[in-house]
Each structure stands twice: as C-alpha cells, then as structure tokens.
Amino acid sequence: MSANFLPHLSPPDVQQAAQLIQQAYSSAHAQVDQRRIQQELVEIQRRPEAWGLIIPFLEHPDPNVQFFGAHTAQVKIMRDWDSFPEENAEHLRDLLLKLTSHSILTGKGKVVCRKLFVAITSLALRIAPGSPSRWPDWIVSAVNSLSSSGMPPEQLLAFLTIVAEEVETADLLGSSKMQMHQSLLDASPMVIQAVIASITRPTLILPELQSALKCFQAWIYILRANDITPIIPLLITIMTPAPDSGFNESTFSAASDVLQEIMTRSSLAGGAGTGTLTEPLLAWLDGYGDRAGSVDGVSHSLCKLLVALGDHSTMYFASNITSLKPIPGTPYRRAYFVQKFLHLLLKYTGLPGYYGVDEEASEMTLGFWYLFQESLWSVEYEDQDEDEDGIPSLLNIKEKEQWAIVNAVYVQLVEILRRKVTWPDQRTLSYWAKDEVDRFQVYRRDVGDTLINAYYILRNDMLGYFLEDMQKRFAQPNGSQGWEEIEATLHCIMSIQEAVPLEDNPFLARLFGPDVLGRLPTSGQDRIRRTMLGLIAAYSIWFTIHPKVPISTSTPSLLMNAISYVVAALPDPALCLPAANALRDLCDANRAALAPHIGAFAELHAGLSDIPDTEKSKVLQSIASVIQALPPEEEIPPIQAIVSPVIEKLAQALHISSQLVDETRIIIISQLQTLSGVAKGLTRTQDSLLILDESPEERAEAERLQRARDDYTMVKVREDLFNTIRNVTTCWSTDAGVSDALSDFFRSITSLPSDITLLSLPAAPIFEIICLACQRQLTAVWLSLATMLVIQLDPPTLFSTSTLKSTPSPEALGVISTLLPVLLEASLGVLGQPGAMEANPDIVQAFFGCMDTIAKHFLVGFYRLPPGALDALMQCAVTSLSLQERYSLVATCTFLETLMRRTASSDDLGDASTMLIQGHGRPILRAILSGFAGVAPRSATQNLIELLSVIASKFPAETRAWMTDILFADDFVQSKANPEAKRTFVKAIIGSRSPKKTREAAQQFTLVARGLEGTSFGYASVNI
C-alpha cells in the first residue's frame, strides 16, 4: 500500500511506541504508571508524526496495538485535520479503504474494524460536504470499494451501521448537515436492498441476520415510510416460529427490537401506519401471543414489543375498542384484536410472583394505562359517524357499550395491581435481599401512579371495590384475615388520594369509621398500621369537608376516630415517625374543627414523655396548629405551657459539662427543632399574599392579635426565647448540625407583618445575631438567612393604594447602615483569602445573593459605608467574575447589574453613579470581555451579556473608550478572535440601540473567541 504522503517512522521508534501500548494494557503496572503511560500515548497521538503510526500498528501482531493504530487514524482525522495537507485527502481516503479491506480479510478483531469504519466515516464528514464535493456519493463509493475487495455482507452491513450512527451524531451545521443528510437518503435504496437480501435468504445465517437488522435499526431515523413498510412483514416472518419448532430467542429478539425502533424513532412513529404496522402486528399477536404471561427471554422481548405497540397505537386502541370494522385478511373485527391486545397486556401486568424477585417485565406495562386513559377521553369513535339519521339513542347505546368494555378492562387492571402490590408473608420476605425489597417498594409507588389513571375511569366504583374486598377479608375467621392483602388495599387507596375529589364520600366515611379503621390492629402488624397512618395523613384535608358531629354527642367524629388511631401509635418506636407526621397533617388541615378539643391535646402534651425527642417537635407542632385556631387571648396559656419547658431545657443544655459535647449537641438540636415546629404550627395556613384587601374584620383581628402579643406573659416568653437563642448562637453557631437547626428556627420564628404570631420575633435583633455568627464562621446558611431578614426589614405593603414602592423606614435603614459594614467585613475577610472563592462557591453565591437583595431594598446603604468598604466589595465582585463555578458567577452578575442599574436610575444619590463607573467600570468590563473570550463557563454567557447591556446602555461613552483598549491590549486573554472580529464586536456594541442587538453581537464574539463558530455545538450553547 502506497503511503508516501504520510510521515515515515523508523522501526525502532514504532517498536518503542508499540511497547508503550502493550504496557498500557498490561496488568503488571501500578495504577499510577498506567495513568502516566496513557498520558504519554495521548501526547504521541498529538504529534504530526503520529500519522505514520497507522500502517505499522495495523500490521503489528498484537491486537491492542492494531486497535491503537485504527484509533489513531480516527483521532487524527477528527482532531488534527486542519494541519493535514489538503491535497492528500483523496490519498488518505483510498488508503483507509484498502487498510480496512485488508484488516477484515486477514481476520483482525471486530473492534479494530469498527474503529476503521469510524475513521472512514470521520474522513467523509471532512471531505464529502462542499461544492464540489471531494468525495461524491461517498457511501455507495465506499461500499463498492469494500465489496469489490471481497468483504463479506456481514461486515458491509456493519460498516453501513457505523455510517448512520456517526452521521446522526456529527457536529454539522447548515449546508454541510443537509448535504450529509442527502447522502444518506441517496444511499437508502442500496441499504434496503442489502438488508432484504440478508434477511430473506432461504437459510438464514444468524451473524449476517443480526448485522442486517442492526444496520436497518441504525438507518431507521433517515428512511422514508415507503422504505420501511416492505420490511415490516419480513420482520414479522422472522419472529414467527417454524410449525414444528419453538421460538428462536436470538432471531425473535433481534426482529422485535427493530419493530420497537420503527414504532418509536422512524417516520411511522406516533401512531402512523396503522394498516401496515399496527394491524399486521395485532393479527400476528392473535396467533402467537400465547407466550404472554411466561417468564423467559422470548416472553420478555414480546412484552417490550407489546408495550411499544401500545405506546405507538394508543389512539387506535381507544377508538376501536368496540369497532365492528374488519381487519383485511382476517376473519375478525377490530374490536376483537384490540380487546385481545389488552388481554395480553393485562397478562404481563399481572405476571405471577413478585416484581423484582420472580419477574422483571410487569413494570414495563404500567405507562400504557396512563396513555390509554388519556386517549379514551380525547378519542372520537369512528363508528359513531356511520349511524343513519344520527339517532341520539343509538349513539348513547354505542357509547355505553364502549365504556362498559373500558370499565371492565380497568376493573381487571385494578384487581391485578392490588394483587401485585401485596407484600409476601414475613417468612418469605426474610429471604429477600435489600435491593429486592427496595425495587418492590419503588414498584408499589409506580403502581400508585397507574391506579390514579384507573380512578379517573372508574371513580367511586374503584373505592367501592376496595371497601368490599376489605369487608370480605374482615369477615374471615380471626387469624386468617390476610393482613398483607388488606395492607395492599389500603396502599392502593392511599395512592389515589390526589385524584379523589374533595367532597363528601360515603366510601371514605366507611373507611374512617368503625367498619374499617375500627377493625384494624392497634398493636403488632407494623406494616399495615404504618400504611394506615400514611393513608390518614394523605387524606387529612378530606376531613375538613366531612359533616361535623356535634361535640355533645357520644359518637366520635371521623376526624376524632383518625386522631385517636394516630395518637395510639405515637408511643410505638417503630410507628412514632409516621404517626407524628399524620398527626401534624391532621391538625394543620383541621385546626378549627379540633380547637374545641383543646383539652384532649393538653392531655396529649402531658403524656409526651413516652414519645422520642426526635418526633416530639412534630407532636408539638400539631398541638400548636390547634392552638392557632383559638382566639388570640386564649392562645397565651397553652403557648406558655408548651414553649417555656423547651426554653428551660435549652438553657440548661448550655450549662452541661463541656466534656459531654455530643450529648449537649443532640439536646440543643432536638429543642431547636421543637421550637421550630411550634412556630410553624402557630403560623396560620391562609396565604397572606393572596389577601388583596384588608377588611374591617381583618383589621380588628390584627389589633386583637397585637394586644395578645403585648400581654406581659407573651412578652416574657419571647424575651426568654430570644435571650436563650442568642446564647445558643454565641456558643454553638460553628457547629454544622446546630447551625442547620438554628437556620430552620430563624425561618420559622420570623415573618412578614401579615404572618405574625404571638411567638414571632422581630427581624432586626435576629439580623444582628446572624451578623455576629458570620464573624465567627462565614457560611452560606447565615448569608441566606441574612437575605431573608433584609426582605423582612422592608416588607411589601399589601394594602397600599399607591402603585409606587414605599421607601424603607428610617429604623430599618438604620439597622442596615449599622450591620452591613459588619457583614461586609466578615465576608470579605474570608473571601479575600487566596483560593477562598474557588473553594467555597456556595458562600460566594449566597453572599452576592444577599448583596443583590440589599441593593434592591436598601441601595443607599452601600453609599453610607465607611471609606474603602464599597471599593473592597467591588474588587471582590470583579474577582468573582472570573470564577468557573456558574452559580457564583451568575449571582455576581445579578448583583452588579442591580447595583449599577438602580444607582444610575436614582435621583437621590447625586454623582454616585459617575463615581461608581469611573472607579470600577473598566475592571468590570474587562472581566466581562475576558469571560466572553473563554475565562467564564459558557453557561454563564447570557448573564455576562445582560451585565454588558446595562453598562453599555447606561454609560455608552465610557464603554466605547474602554472596549477597544481592553480587547487590543497585549495582556488580554488569548483567544481565537482576530483583530477584525474584535473590531466588528466593538462596532456592534457601540452602535447597538437594543439589548437584543447587544446580545447577538456578544454571542457571536463568544463563538468566534472560543473557536466554536460554525458548529452546532457552539450555536446550541448560546441558548443555554
């Protein structure tokens, strides 16, 4: 083979490189050596001389060296093509075709040949596009060349497979992409001919058949419908077993995979081709679908085929479930085949055994029932149009018949799914591995989603079936009720909660009454009790609409039945968590209904000693929810009763011996969680932001609440609470667990004025605590809390008649003026350390998020800072613009944009805008332009563009002067942008009159500077 155009390497050099490859594949070398060798090999491939390694490596006896030779050909074409002499492109093409033919005919490994196929396709992607093309009709030309050398059909089909796969994923744009697409279309007849020849041989050759089917599968996305249609009956024939033998798993699965691909990726996807695809498959399933319901390789592939057909033809099934139209070539009507398909799918949905342990296929069918339900609602039945005279009664009869069939199908589905989610008995379960248990739990959740679709069809009939099934099981002799079966039914009812209308329901009334809830076990049987607790929590809001039973009657209400069941489970360690969650949800949703029973909750509070501290916070939150429904003055005693002991215990924990650090930490975190729970419970459930007007009654209620807050008892409780929390923060703010608990507490105990409770603490002193905590240890937790408190210091005015935002109060502005310097000093002291920003992106993001919020609410605070503080902040921001972590950079851009826009738009700041841009505009602009040129991640380009747009629009003269100086400076970041591209960019920005033009110019410059111009990857990235 003539390869004079490639570099020539001496045999010792080739041998040395080959030995390095052999060392890389040897297990005798340590991992460190392997990495070093791999790096050396990468460096070898980067050298221009590496072209000369291709032929000697392919001729080497070691398969690993052969593979590296083929890989080098691909890598050099893809990565270093620009440095390859253009006049030698055709010589390289001919050489690669000869090398590939020789490699196959001499029996080299498949991975080597595959790499050579990829190299040929990569070369075609380089030289085939263009006018004139340097490789016209490249696919046919390559196939003819390879075929003439004696390459067998199996390998030719493998080559065509690579061609389709590589072109599909190639990074091409515009005319080049269209030209390569057309080359595939032009070669399609040849591909179809080759595939048909290989799959219709009188005696099928399995490797060739598999290669042909894989090739066809790879080409499906490009083929027209009339190219695909003739193949479908051939695929069905391949799946069909011979009369005297069973299914061939290999051929069946291969053909089934191709049919699945046709229904999902081809031009026949999305329900097309019902006459050429759907109906032939339905006819075949009628004759050979009896493998449904078994567990083997053929059955698993058949299930996948059924699911793909279901997804493809859902609308066909919905519109023909009772259709009397015949299917050509069969003695049956459409309704028969549709119902047979649904029967087969139900058999797979209800495969015997447990999912994840005994079978793996039933889960695949679940998605169909959602699509089928959706289609049933939107379908227009074809047969309805054929009724003579359009008689309404006949239309109604047909519709009733159709829905009778649909209901029957979904009833069977519900029965199957209820059985499939049943846990085995404890003895069987003890043999399951942990991953099997986990998979079964996930399967149960997925079944829940499918049951929701069934509920939309069956409605209360579904609940009726569940209740009737449980009643039958309760009637069994004691000990044989089958608690696993009842638990499965309860799980199903819990799963459909979101679909059940919020209205009075007799079936739910039976569920929460003595007939069901009253007959469930109250000891032992943890699984069914846990499920019932979850069910009660899920339906907690339903009790709000159920008719209330007068307190004077002896019969407890359904709500109190549920409360009693939940409270009884609280002392059980295994059930305390779900019981506490259920109690919290019940009390939160039914505050007013439970308020008259406050005495019972006082008894519950007195008995909390039996409940673990980890769940006590949820119980106290539940009690607090009920307290909130009382008149404000009546809230005071119970709030004091539940809060004061917690404060006292928290204060005592601070005086525990310093040697018991772990015990103290646990106590502090537990008590903080309890206080957070109480604060959340006392917060009213109505969203204050939805109140658009304030009625006289609401004003009177607010005044009543304020009088209760001013009561000495509540003032003393809040004072003790604040002092204790301040001491906790002082001593424990550097502990991660305690700081998280404090964060949750601060978020719960502070509020906007419209959400204030008797226990709420003001924002200003909490803000001071947060700033002191930042001085001890700066974290994103404290900074995010500071952001929240800044908003609370300048809350929205919900009832103002003015459309303009009110200015902050002097008191709030005084707080910011005092504490912002403290916060800046603490933050900049940390972030100013070498490498601190890169190591703490969460802190950077939270810090600039906080600064952005202050700029929006208290802009003047930045211009009242001590001398040098604002300059230090701006220098930190400029440094942050060069970070590689996207969220940090975005937060910085947002802050700078807010600061500069609001400063330039303010009439109250005098010459602050000019001072800001003169002092910091150029460094900011330099950081932005460096970001475009490659310093910043591509995903943050849009944010940099928005910041540039603000600077260019607010300060056009300065932008014009600085951009040219920065871009053409000797120390500007190296990029692919030449002087002409830079001049074009500057001209576009200076001449821009809209953010859109600025954005387009900046995006184009970014692509050019990063070397991404002309690539689909580059143009896709500008829209990230």
Query: pLDDT by residue (tens digit) across 213-224?
Result: 999 999 999 999
Instruction: Decide if 372 contacts 314 (C-beta within 8 A).
Output: yes
- Is pLDDT of 694 > 90? no
Per-residue pLDDT tens digits for 792-845 = 999 876 544 444 556 888 999 999 999 999 999 999 999 999 999 999 999 999
Buried b (16+ CB within 10 A) or exposed e, 179-191: ebeebbeebeeeb
Dihedral pair phi/psi, residue 759, rounded to 5°: -100, -10
Q: Which of 878, 824, 871, 870 is nearest to 847 (CA)?
A: 824
Predicted confidence at residue 616, as pLDDT, reads 87
Segment 185-205 shows an average pLDDT of 93
Predicted confidence at residue 690, as pLDDT, reads 42
Indicate the range of 29-43, 618-632, 667-681, 708-722 predicted with least confidence.
Answer: 29-43
State percent of the chain over pLDDT 90. Answer: 69
Instruction: Decide if 579 contacts 569 (C-beta within 8 A).
Output: yes
Q: Which of 916, 851, 914 is nearest to 880 (CA)?
A: 851
Predicted confidence at residue 244, as pLDDT, reads 75
Instruction: Decide if 53 contacts 9 (C-beta within 8 A).
Output: yes
Count of C-beta atoms within a 10 Å radius of residue 302: 27
Q: What is the DSSP string of 513-557?
A: STTTGGGS-SSS-HHHHHHHHHHHHHTGGGGGTSPPPPTTSSSPP
Distance CA 618, CA 252 (A): 57
Burial class (CB in 10 A: 0-12, 13-18, 19+), 641: middle
Predicted confidence at residue 1012, as pLDDT, reads 76
Distance CA 946, CA 889 (A): 13
What's the N-to-C CA distance of the chain in angstroms?
48
Q: What is the DSSP string of 54-77?
A: HHHHHTSSSHHHHHHHHHHHHHHH
Predicted confidence at residue 689, as pLDDT, reads 43
Q: Which of 856, 873, 857, 860 is nearest to 920 (CA)?
A: 873
Whether residue 132 has a cis bond before it, omega within 30° of 0:
yes
Long-range contacts, stretch 901-905, CB < 8 angstroms, 24+ apart: 901/950, 901/954, 902/855, 902/856, 902/859, 903/859, 904/954, 904/955
Count of C-beta atoms within a 10 Å radius of residue 890: 20
| Rg (the chain; Cα; Å) | 37
pTM attached to this predicted model: 0.83
Per-residue pLDDT tens digits for 913-942 = 889 999 999 999 999 999 998 888 888 889
Q: What is the DSSP string of 265-307?
A: HSTT-TT--IIIIIHHHHHHHHHHGGGTT--SHHHHHHHHHHH
Phi-psi region of 5 (alpha: psi -120 to 50; beta: other; left: phi over 0): alpha
Rounded to whole angstroms, what are the CA distances from 919 to 183, 257, 883, 915?
59, 66, 22, 6
User: Which tokens belong to 972?
Assistant: 């500007």
Confidence band for 488, pLDDT divided at 50, 70 and 90: very high
Sole residue written with tokens 């500057």 = 986
Burial class (CB in 10 A: 0-12, 13-18, 19+), 1014: middle
Distance of CA 77 to the CA centre of its chain: 37
- Is pLDDT of 487 > 50? yes
Burial class (CB in 10 A: 0-12, 13-18, 19+), 1009: buried
Rank 17-21, 513-517, 605-609 by mean pLDDT and report only the highest. 513-517
Dihedral pair phi/psi, residue 134, rounded to 5°: -85, 0
Q: Which of 245, 247, 226 is nearest to 294 (CA)?
A: 247
Instruction: Please tell me what DSSP assigns to residue 761.
Output: P
* 3-class secondary structure, 326: strand
Predicted confidence at residue 691, as pLDDT, reads 45
Residues shown for the chain = 1024
- Is pLDDT of 874 > 70? yes
Instruction: Decide if 579 contacts 540 (C-beta within 8 A).
Output: no
Distance CA 691, CA 688 (A): 5
499 against 1009, higher pLDDT? 499
Predicted confidence at residue 38, as pLDDT, reads 83
Instruction: Report the sign of the C-alpha dihedral through residues 530, 535, 540, 546, in that order.
Output: negative
Predicted confidence at residue 385, as pLDDT, reads 47
Instruction: Report the sign of the C-alpha dihedral through residues 924, 926, 929, 930, in that order.
Output: negative
Per-residue pLDDT tens digits for 93-104 = 999 999 999 999
Rounded to whole angstroms, what are the CA distances from 670 to 80, 773, 904?
62, 20, 49
**What is the enclosing helix (H) or strand (E) of 1008?**
helix 995-1009
Distance CA 882, CA 930 (A): 8
Angle between helices 696-709 and 632-653 (to 10 degrees): 40
Chain-wide mean pLDDT for the chain? 90
User: Which tokens belong to 865?
Assistant: 């800072």
Confidence band for 386, pLDDT divided at 50, 70 and 90: very low
Distance of CA 751 to the CA centre of its chain: 31
Instruction: Decide if 707 contacts 635 (C-beta within 8 A).
Output: no
Rounded to whole angstroms, what are the CA distances from 669 to 460, 611, 815?
46, 16, 29
User: Which tokens belong to 696?
Assistant: 């006289």
Per-residue pLDDT tens digits for 748-781 = 999 888 889 999 999 999 999 999 999 999 999 9
- Half-sphere CA count of 227, side-chain side, radius 13 A: 23
Q: Which of 479, 482, 461 is nearest to 471 (CA)?
A: 482
**What is the enclosing helix (H) or strand (E) of 509?**
helix 506-511
Segment 442-471 shows an average pLDDT of 96
- Is pLDDT of 310 > 60? yes
Predicted confidence at residue 738, as pLDDT, reads 94
Distance CA 471, CA 486 (A): 9
Predicted confidence at residue 103, as pLDDT, reads 94
Distance CA 203, CA 304 (A): 27
- Is pLDDT of 688 > 50? no
Predicted confidence at residue 91, as pLDDT, reads 93
Per-residue pLDDT tens digits for 235-290 = 999 999 888 778 889 999 999 999 999 999 999 999 999 999 999 999 999 999 88
Distance CA 778, CA 927 (A): 26
Predicted confidence at residue 9, as pLDDT, reads 86
- Is pLDDT of 537 > 80? yes
- Is pLDDT of 1019 > 70? no
Sole residue written with tokens 């990230």 = 1024
Distance CA 585, CA 694 (A): 28
